Structure 1
Amino acid sequence: MATKQSLSLLALLAVAVAAACLLPSASAATEFEYCKKHKHYPVKVSGVEIVPDPIQSGKPATFKISASTDKTITKGKLVIDVKYYVIAWLVDVHSETDDICEKTNCPATGDFELSHGQTLPSITPPGSYMIEMKMLGDNDEELSCISFGFSIGFIAPVALR
């Protein structure tokens, strides 16, 4: 027969497991918006994943974009603009343009994934950021454009020795 102490311990363990299931994971789906809400983009984005989330300054981070298209993409550009929230304003902090075929396997058609890795400098301030990511085709045709937010953690994890 179980004692009151073992039942209390079992109940505590069940609560801890349930709470752990509710905690955000190191990679979670991120909400995104299309830049132009009613535009018909040839590339449809189905998801954005940031690993880890939140990002830590000085540590590698990966942005994964799941998408699909009926068009065959053989070349193009990925244009990334990063903005930092300062009080009520967005301040441009970084822009880059990459070959789209360096971020996914070309030719890309059907379902595909774009992956962009970045290590932010250790002096990157913590807080909220926004990315606008444009996918441009052969003749700078806008294939897709999305924006999404991400955070850089305020406290870096401490390594135990």
Structure 2
Amino acid sequence: MSKFTGFSSLAISYFLLVSTIVAATDVHYCDNNEEYEVKVQGVDITPYPIARGEPATFRISANTDTKISSGKLVIEVSYFGWHIHSETHDLCDETSCPVAIGDFLVAHSQVLPGYTPPGSYSLKMKMLDGRKKELTCIKFSFDIGFGSSVADM
């Protein structure tokens, strides 16, 4: 047995222990009959479940047949079916613009307040071009765990 075999096993075990959990979530289009110009392949959320008061990153992998020079992301969040939050972001702050034809990634990081209740949430995201034309609309669910709280801050 090589002296490096034990080291590599230990290193792999350590990496698996401390690596951040990433969850790929099921994504649904808002309108299954719509032919969106941007096709979403998936959403990865890190860490998962999301911890209150800690940074969370949403990575959306997508593909487009058209060049996108500008636009907006409109995000709506619901908790137990109740709309609780809306925000709008410049698309070019979340990905490199112009977006070329082909695959691209939209990434958004945010720290949820420590008072955010744990549980299951749903998110609806619309991507609009510079003329406010809807390029895609997706929905997915995510969980917020019992991680950090106001008392921890």
What TM-score do the two structures reach when normalised by structure 1?
A: 0.78
Larger Rg over CA atoms:
1
Given that residues 37 and 65 in structure 2 are in contact (C-alpha distance below 8 angstroms), is that contact kept between their aligned partners in structure 1? yes
Whole-Å separation in 2 of the counterparts to 1:46 and 1:155: 29
Which of the residues 69, 81, 84 maps onto 1:93? Answer: 84
Deviation at 1:113, TM superposition (A): 0.3
The aligned residue for residue 3 of structure 1 is none
Deviation at 1:154, TM superposition (A): 2.7
Which of the residues 33, 47, 65 maps onto 2:60? Answer: 65
The aligned residue for residue 147 of structure 1 is 139
Q: How does 1:78-157 map to 2 (within 5 A)?
A: 78-85=73-80, 90-109=81-100, 110-156=102-148
Query: What RMSD over aligned residues (CA atoms) do the two structures have, in Å?
Result: 1.6
What TM-score do the two structures reach when normalised by structure 2?
A: 0.81
Instruction: Tell me the matched-pair count.
Output: 131
Give structure 1 stretches of 5+ with no counterpart. 1-16
Q: How does 1:37-76 map to 2 (within 5 A)?
A: 37-76=32-71
Give structure 2 stretches of 5+ with no counterpart. 1-12
Deviation at 1:156, TM superposition (A): 4.4
Which residue identity lines up with residue 54 of structure 1 in the other structure?
A: P
1:39-89 deviations in Å (ceiling 9; x for gaps): 00000000100000100110000000000101101001000001111xxxx
Whole-Å separation in 2 of the counterparts to 1:81 and 1:150: 13
Which residue identity lines up with residue 99 of structure 2 in the other structure?
A: A
Runs of 4+ in 1 over 6 A off after TM superposition: none
Is residue 77 from structure 1 mapped to residue 72 from structure 2 by the alignment? yes
Q: Percent identity?
A: 52
Which residue identity lines up with residue 114 of structure 2 in the other structure?
A: S
